[in-house]
Structure 1
Amino acid sequence: MMLVELTAPPIEALPVAGLRTHLRLGTGFEIAEDATETAALAGFLRAAIATIEARTGKVLLARQFRLRLDDWRDPEGQPLPLAPVTAIERVEIDDGAGRITVAAPDTWGLQPDMQRPMLVPRGAWLPGVPDAGFATVTFSAGFGAVWDAVPDDLAHAVLLLAARYYEDRGFEGNALAVPFGVSALIERWRAVRVLGGRGVSRKRA
């Protein structure tokens, strides 16, 4: 399995002003609102968002992803590794020789779920994947395109973690530490990662 992020949230969608206010209240220092400082704060926010997403499997801000699979785990339904998935744009089958077939949209659909969304067939099975080939699923996921769409506890966890990264900048030993308060905020969103699906992979020519 290979998952690639195709798009990234624009800086305008990041809560830079909220982090600036949070830091001001937390430390008492004024933060200059210039381009350099804004870029730095955005970087801490992106790092915090990536950490929260990695620990929960939830995509905070909407963006597009591409999932490549050697085969479906189960032809009756392929679990997707992120949530919430808002749309599946395209399903493609590559025969391994460079010939790509786009599966007709009326042959598959999205089964939404906050923990385990799935690509499901409209008929009996998902399209067959040749032995030397692979399947590619392009989909969009995220709570929304703006920060206000992110659940409050996850949004607050991001601000706390970004502030920690800001305060610990330059100290690489603390870079991977997640404060207890952040862990407590995200705990209910964490899902057991069962990417394997329901059955056993079966190649079908």
Structure 2
Amino acid sequence: MMLVEQTTVPIEALPVTEFRDHLRLGTGFADDSVQDIVLESYVRAAMAAIEARTGKVLVTRSYSWSLTAWRQPARQVLPVAPVAALTEIKLLDRDGGATIVDPASYRLAPDSQRPCLTAVGHHLPTIPHQGSVELRFTAGFGATWADLPPDLGQAVFLLAAHYYENRSAMVAGEKPMPFGVSLLIDRYRTVRLFGEAAK
């Protein structure tokens, strides 16, 4: 399987000014914004780490996801959450020929932890022999930083601050995720049961 981020988080959606305030950096100078590129990079890095740890997309983006077999005949767990919409499903044969799947034959079962593609009928579309299927969807809590749950937003700030304060080098033996950040994000982590992982 391969998950590809089709769009990125625009700078306008990132809380760079708020993060500068969180760090209590000086203000009122002509060059207040000189560190904004650096601060943006730490916010993006913290977001990526938290999204990887939780399986949650913080700010809405578009994705494509390719796989060669369904996990279950009538149901496929999606790799991230929350998923706002399935925009297209495309079957690809081994020669690259594409067939768009009728949207009436499937639906999205929304879930904050494990959203699913489900069949309308007995089974999902048959994937061609030696071919694949590509799903396109949008996922995320919302288009702006204000749409995030407050604890996830705080976790991003804490982790970004950790990166900023330890930017010269990681301390030997230091845990990659600070304890306070782990406490904030633990309830968002997906627990996979009975081997039902997204294929």
TM-score (norm 2): 0.91
The letter for the 1-side match of 2:180 is G
Q: Please tell me whether the aligned partners of residues 79 and 195 of structure 1 are also in contact (alpha carbons under 8 angstroms).
A: no
Structure 1 runs, 4 residues or longer, greater than 6 Å off: none
Q: Deviations over 1:153-200 (max 9, x none)?
A: 00000000001111111214579721100000111111124696489x
Question: SS where residue 126 of structure 1 aligns?
Answer: coil
Q: Please tell me whether the aligned partners of residues 26 and 32 of structure 2 are also in contact (alpha carbons under 8 angstroms).
A: no
Question: SS where residue 48 of structure 1 aligns?
Answer: helix
CA distance 1:130–1:197, shift in 2 (3 Å): farther
CA distance 1:195–1:107, shift in 2 (3 Å): farther
Q: Please tell me whether the aligned partners of residues 85 and 112 of structure 1 are also in contact (alpha carbons under 8 angstroms).
A: yes
Structure 2 counterpart of 1:94: 92
Structure 2 counterpart of 1:52: 50
Cα RMSD after superposing both structures:
2.1
The letter for the 2-side match of 1:187 is D
Q: Deviations over 1:42-100 (max 9, x none)?
A: 10000000011111111100001111001111121110010000000000100111111
Structure 2 counterpart of 1:163: 161
- Taking the aligned partners of 2:179 and 2:13, their CA distance within structure 1 comes to 26
The letter for the 2-side match of 1:14 is L
CA distance 1:62–1:74, shift in 2 (3 Å): same
- What does 1:25-104 correspond to in 2, within 5 Å? 29-30=25-26, 32-34=31-33, 36-104=34-102
Question: SS where residue 184 of structure 2 aligns?
Answer: helix
TM-score (norm 1): 0.89
CA distance 1:181–1:148, shift in 2 (3 Å): same
Structure 1 counterpart of 2:104: 106
Match of 2:151 among 145, 150, 153: 153
CA distance 1:75–1:66, shift in 2 (3 Å): same
Question: SS where residue 20 of structure 1 aligns?
Answer: helix
Check if 1:190 corresponds to 2:186: no
Q: Please tell me whether the aligned partners of residues 74 and 198 of structure 1 are also in contact (alpha carbons under 8 angstroms).
A: no
Structure 1 counterpart of 2:117: 119
- Taking the aligned partners of 1:10 and 1:91, their CA distance within structure 2 comes to 26
- Measured after TM superposition, the shift of residue 37 of structure 1 is 1.2
Structure 1 counterpart of 2:179: 180
CA distance 1:96–1:195, shift in 2 (3 Å): farther
Q: Give the number of equivalent residue pairs.
A: 195
The letter for the 2-side match of 1:160 is L
- Taking the aligned partners of 1:105 and 1:176, their CA distance within structure 2 comes to 45
Structure 1 gaps, min length 5: none
Question: SS where residue 32 of structure 2 aligns?
Answer: coil
Aligned residues with identical type, % of pairs: 47
- Taking the aligned partners of 1:5 and 1:194, their CA distance within structure 2 comes to 26
